[in-house]
Amino acid sequence: MKNSRMLNILVGGWLLTVTAPLNAQVGRHQGMIEPNVADEKELARLPHLNPELVKGIVERRPYANMLELHKFLSSSVETKQLNELYSKMFIQINLNTAPREEIMLIPGMGNRMVREFLEYRPYTAMAQFRKEIGKYVDEKEVARLEQYVFVPINLNTASDETLATIPGATPQVIRAVKDARPYKDMEQFRREIAKSVSAKEALRLERYFVIK
């Protein structure tokens, strides 16, 4: 019985390490769709998106942030419907720079929780976010909120595992990012990554990074 209990503890600890690495920077999705990289079929299955809106989303992307996408959708979709849509589709926000109005786009977000998001800036990793926000809500709610956020990734030191958490980061993109290290500034990153992806895609990727 003692050995069995110890085995359960070890396995549980291993699973926690695998599913929630302490150095994670991008919140884990639980089926959440990233509209900058989703294909039209994925978008068409979402609530309140008709073919015209799907086409509009695709034509206008990449969006620099969730506020840009919201501006487009809010002219055609009611607030209640947007809340339902944003529970399934969202562009993750930068925990360290997102303005209050962008954070408020997260479904179920109230003024009190926005204050908590802002209070603990700057965030260094998702582990810090889980710890601090976990003081106010249970683990299930922390996991739900995590889907909507990311902490900027150090462009010069991020591991393959961390880079792979960026939505749409293919092995080719990861290799291109690493091959041009070290980066002195974002202009160098734009110049180098543009050899492998389009200018629009380079802009989308840039929002996840910081140079330290």
Single out the residue of 96, 128, 106 nearest to residue 207, CA to CA: 96
170 and 133, same structural domain?
no
Instruction: Give the pLDDT mean for 178-187.
Output: 96
128 and 86, same structural domain?
yes
Render 198-211 in DSSP notation, one character per residue: -HHHHHHHHTTEE-
138 and 49, same structural domain?
yes
Q: Which domain holds residue 113?
A: 40-150
14 located within any domain? no
Q: Round the average pLDDT of the chain to a whole number and report it.
A: 89
29 located within any domain? no
pLDDT score for 112: 96
132 and 61, same structural domain?
yes
7 located within any domain? no
pLDDT score for 45: 97
Q: What is the pTM of this model?
A: 0.85
Measured CA distances, 152 to 16, 175, 182 (Å): 22, 19, 17
User: 126-170 pLDDT, tens per residue?
Assistant: 999 999 999 999 999 999 999 999 999 999 999 999 999 999 999
User: 50-104 pLDDT, tens per residue?
Assistant: 999 999 999 999 999 999 999 999 999 999 999 999 999 999 999 999 999 999 9
Instruction: Give the pLDDT mean for 5-31.
Output: 54
87 located within any domain? yes
pLDDT score for 23: 57
198 located within any domain? yes
60 and 134, same structural domain?
yes
Query: Sorting pLDDT into bands at 50, 70 and 90, what band is 29?
Result: confident
> Cα separation of 62 and 85, whole Å?
18
157 and 146, same structural domain?
no
177 located within any domain? yes
182 located within any domain? yes
